[in-house]
């Protein structure tokens, strides 16, 4: 498919981005003003807008609960997630427990002992979200990359005609610790994309900074915290927005309801990470829950406490206080009521009206798909451990090209595929690169797109760009269009230098990959008339 090439701006020239000249004999692209004038003229003569994008057939949509864990030292799923899902199904008398496959984004049948009951064929979809392998990678960006993939997959589950189909407007996100960061980033993207916002987000002792936030932490605790902080610090998820870049978990304006259960100070420092109060949410302070005789609530007890509000089972002494406690906008102090709080105030729990959130203190979503956050680690600044890199590993991503120091380095034969992501409608793909060594001058850089579930190594469904590598060059940027049927869906991406390594090897550095908003829905400003949906006079 033809690439969309733009004229360099003064900013480009200052940073060394070279203009891309048309091939000899090629007809030059019309200037922006000419293109816009032609577009307006075409619309004025009544040729009409672009045809509506076809959508897949839709089945019965079900409400869904997504249960997301935090840091997993073992890289495996913990039993509590399955037990919570099973408790919800038992309480409702219906529903299906499915396990999220991080490699493909598929919802797999649950094989855990907690799922021994017949799986059922209808009712709420109870998703055990698995990002365990990413969660303990001591690098940056992995929580946001997990959210990027889960967001794309949720969109796919909402569109698919296969069972189960998720109703995004009846979505309940339940996240513990770092899982609250992942779920918060999913909610942010749903709102930014103009899709239904989650009906509820429940954060269970949300944690975004690796160790204990407390200023009273000991020197030893701070030393341990500092040693691993880079890998467990999730503040980078909002680094594009100074307004809230100091927070990894945010209560977003637009959420149907946000309840936050948090506590501090159970065990020393890093051994027991503290949760946090969240402006705008309905906050429940659980710090004083317990009897002071070994039954105090610690970080990993919060999800156990929440599960007991589902099942109504026996609880440790001091965990609950019978009797309704009045709501307060500023938050509620423990002890809390087992039959009133927690799951009881969810849509599916349905027995008690929720306490109000605090909308004036909720954060307006400023996420923008055209910023670097639009495609996680598209600027190659976040480096993981070993060969793993956020966005370009896990969730279907991987390959042989090296990522780091602000670029992707490809030699002949190398490729790298990005994990699953959402293609925003009316956006182009933008790739910036430079040629360090053209080799024999007969190579090419290939950029391909594929369906979200395509296995690693096979993302070659459609070649979006073929860029000849003829001579060494400074930075240059090119754009290409997504097909109508690719927009508003999950996808993956492959960047490759095809060929076999030999005496003369090509060396290309990709500097940035991301999205660029189009001026018109079908790309009039690109200058590629073949992409237009109407003819010019």
Q: For residue range 284-334, what is the model confidence (pLDDT) as tens digits? A: 988 888 877 888 899 999 999 999 999 999 999 989 887 666 776 666 766
**CA separation (Å) from 20 to 23, 256, 506?**
9, 48, 19
Residues in contact with 309: Cβ distance below 8 Å, sequence separation at least 6, in sequence order: 338, 339, 341, 342, 343, 344, 349
- Whole-number Å distance between alpha carbons of 89 and 95: 5
User: Residue 82 has which token pair?
Assistant: 């399955």
- The most confident of the ranges 6-15, 21-30, 232-241, 318-327 is 232-241
Location of structure tokens 């816009």: 36
Question: What pLDDT sits at residue 353?
Answer: 77
Question: What pLDDT sits at residue 325?
Answer: 67
Radius of gyration of the chain (CA): 25
Q: For residue range 471-517, what is the model confidence (pLDDT) as tens digits? A: 999 999 999 999 999 999 999 999 999 987 666 688 999 999 999 99
User: How much is the average pLDDT of 367-387?
Assistant: 88
Confidence band for 142, pLDDT divided at 50, 70 and 90: very high
What is the average pLDDT value for the chain, to the nearest integer? 81
b/e map 159-185, b = 16+ CB within 10 Å? bbeeebbbbbebbbbbbbbbbbbbbbb
* pLDDT at 128 exceeding the cut of 80: yes
- Whole-number Å distance between alpha carbons of 533 and 496: 31
Question: What pLDDT sits at residue 181?
Answer: 96
Q: Which of 300, 314, 306 is nearest to 342 (CA)?
A: 306
Question: What pLDDT sits at residue 40?
Answer: 34
Q: Which helix (H) or strand (E) covers residue 150, if one does?
A: helix 142-159
Q: Which helix (H) or strand (E) covers residue 311, if one does?
A: helix 302-311
Confidence band for 521, pLDDT divided at 50, 70 and 90: very low
User: Residue 292 has which token pair?
Assistant: 């002071």
Please tell me the least confidently modeled range out of 26-35, 171-180, 386-395. Answer: 26-35
DSSP letter, residue 4 = B
Question: What pLDDT sits at residue 266?
Answer: 82
Q: What is the pTM for the complete model shown?
A: 0.83
The fold adopted by the segment(s) 369-531 is Jelly Rolls (2.60.120)
Please tell me the least confidently modeled range out of 19-23, 187-191, 317-321, 493-497. Answer: 19-23
Question: What pLDDT sits at residue 334?
Answer: 62
To the nearest whole percent, how much of the chain has pLDDT over 70? 77
* pLDDT at 36 exceeding the cut of 70: no
Q: For residue range 397-426, what is the model confidence (pLDDT) as tens digits? A: 999 999 988 999 999 999 999 999 999 999
Question: What pLDDT sits at residue 119?
Answer: 60
Confidence band for 236, pLDDT divided at 50, 70 and 90: confident
Question: What pLDDT sits at residue 229?
Answer: 42
b/e map 291-330, b = 16+ CB within 10 Å? eeeeebbbbbbbbbbbbbbbbeeeebebbbeeeebeeeee
Q: Which helix (H) or strand (E) covers residue 484, if one does?
A: none
Location of structure tokens 């009544």: 46
- Three state DSSP letters for 463-482: EEEEEEECCCEEEEEEEEEC
User: How much is the average pLDDT of 4-27?
Assistant: 34
* pLDDT at 79 exceeding the cut of 50: yes
- Whole-number Å distance between alpha carbons of 74 and 520: 48
> Please, are residues 341 and 286 in contact by the beta-carbon 8 Å criterion?
no
Question: What pLDDT sits at residue 136?
Answer: 86
Question: What pLDDT sits at residue 22?
Answer: 33
State the alpha helices, DSSP H only, in 193-292. Answer: 219-232
Question: What pLDDT sits at residue 281?
Answer: 93
User: Residue 187 has which token pair?
Assistant: 């909610």
Confidence band for 269, pLDDT divided at 50, 70 and 90: low
State the alpha helices, DSSP H only, in 197-295. Answer: 219-232
**CA separation (Å) from 196 to 131, 168, 189, 255, 287?**
24, 6, 10, 9, 34
Please tell me the least confidently modeled range out of 27-36, 339-348, 431-440, 512-521. Answer: 27-36
- Whole-number Å distance between alpha carbons of 261 and 32: 53
Sort 93 into a burial class: Cβ within 10 Å, 0-12 / 13-18 / 19+: exposed
Query: Comparing 122 with 254, which gets the higher pLDDT?
Result: 254
Q: Which of 227, 118, 234 is nearest to 175 (CA)?
A: 234
Where do you find CATH 3.40.50 in the chain? Answer: 61-361
User: How much is the average pLDDT of 372-389?
Assistant: 87
* pLDDT at 49 exceeding the cut of 80: no
Q: For residue range 312-322, what is the model confidence (pLDDT) as tens digits? A: 999 999 898 87
> Please, are residues 133 and 75 in contact by the beta-carbon 8 Å criterion?
yes
Where do you find CATH 2.60.120.260 in the chain? Answer: 369-531
Q: For residue range 433-450, what is the model confidence (pLDDT) as tens digits? A: 999 999 988 889 999 999
Q: In what order do the strands lie in the sheet with 282-285?
A: 107-109, 96-100, 125-129, 61-68, 165-176, 200-204, 258-262, 282-285, 332-333
User: How much is the average pLDDT of 32-36?
Assistant: 36
Question: What pLDDT sits at residue 92?
Answer: 93
Return the CATH class of domain 61-361.
alpha beta
């Amino acid at each position: 498919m033809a690439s969309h090439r733009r004229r360099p701006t003064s900013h480009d020239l200052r940073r060394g981005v070279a203009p891309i000249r048309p091939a000899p004999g090629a007809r030059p692209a019309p200037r922006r003003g000419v293109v816009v004038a032609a577009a307006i003229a075409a619309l004025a003569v009544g040729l009409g807008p672009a045809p509506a994008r076809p959508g897949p057939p839709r089945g019965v949509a079900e409400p869904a609960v997504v249960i997301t864990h935090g840091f997993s030292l073992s890289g495996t799923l913990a039993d509590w997630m399955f037990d919570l899902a099973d408790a919800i199904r038992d309480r409702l008398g219906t529903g299906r427990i499915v396990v999220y496959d991080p490699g493909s984004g598929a919802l797999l049948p649950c094989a855990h002992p907690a799922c021994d009951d017949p799986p059922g064929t209808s009712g709420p979809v109870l998703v055990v979200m698995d990002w365990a392998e990413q969660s303990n990678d001591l690098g940056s960006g992995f929580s946001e990359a997990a959210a990027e993939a889960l967001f794309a997959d949720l969109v796919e589950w909402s569109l698919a005609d296969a069972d189960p189909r998720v109703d995004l407007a009846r979505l309940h996100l339940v996240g513990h610790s770092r899982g609250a960061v992942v779920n918060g980033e999913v909610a942010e993207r749903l709102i930014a994309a103009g899709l239904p916002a989650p009906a509820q987000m429940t954060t269970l002792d949300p944690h975004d900074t690796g160790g204990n936030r407390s200023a009273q932490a000991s020197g030893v605790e701070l030393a341990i915290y500092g040693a691993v902080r880079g890998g467990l610090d999730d503040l980078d998820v909002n680094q594009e927005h100074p307004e809230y870049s100091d927070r990894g978990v945010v209560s977003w304006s637009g959420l149907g309801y946000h309840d936050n259960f948090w506590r501090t100070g159970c065990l020393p420092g890093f051994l027991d990470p503290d949760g946090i109060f969240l402006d705008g949410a309905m906050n429940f302070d659980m710090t004083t829950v317990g009897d002071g005789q070994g039954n105090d609530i610690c970080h990993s007890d919060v999800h156990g406490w929440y599960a007991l509000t589902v099942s109504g089972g026996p609880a440790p002494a001091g965990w609950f206080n019978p009797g309704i406690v009045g709501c307060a906008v500023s938050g509620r102090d423990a002890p809390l009521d087992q039959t009133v709080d927690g799951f009881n105030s969810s849509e599916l729990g349905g027995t008690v009206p929720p306490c109000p959130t605090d909308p004036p203190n909720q954060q307006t979503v400023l996420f923008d798909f055209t910023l670097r956050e639009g495609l996680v680690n598209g600027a190659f600044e976040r480096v993981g451990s070993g060969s793993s890199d956020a966005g370009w590993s896990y969730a279907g991503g991987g390959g042989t090209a090296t990522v780091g120091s602000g670029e992707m380095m490809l030699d002949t034969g190398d490729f790298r595929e990005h994990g699953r992501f959402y293609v925003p409608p009316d956006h182009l793909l933008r790739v910036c690169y430079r040629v360090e060594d053209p080799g024999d001058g007969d190579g090419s850089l290939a950029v391909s797109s594929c369906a979200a579930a395509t296995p690693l190594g096979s993302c070659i469904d459609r070649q979006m760009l073929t860029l000849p590598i003829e001579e060494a060059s400074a930075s240059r940027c090119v754009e290409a269009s997504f097909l109508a049927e690719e927009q508003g869906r999950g996808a993956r991406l492959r960047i490759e230098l095809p060929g076999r390594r030999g005496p003369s090897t090509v060396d290309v550095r990709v500097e940035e990959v991301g999205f660029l908003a189009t001026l018109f829905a079908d790309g009039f400003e690109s200058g590629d008339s073949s992409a237009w949906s109407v003819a010019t006079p």
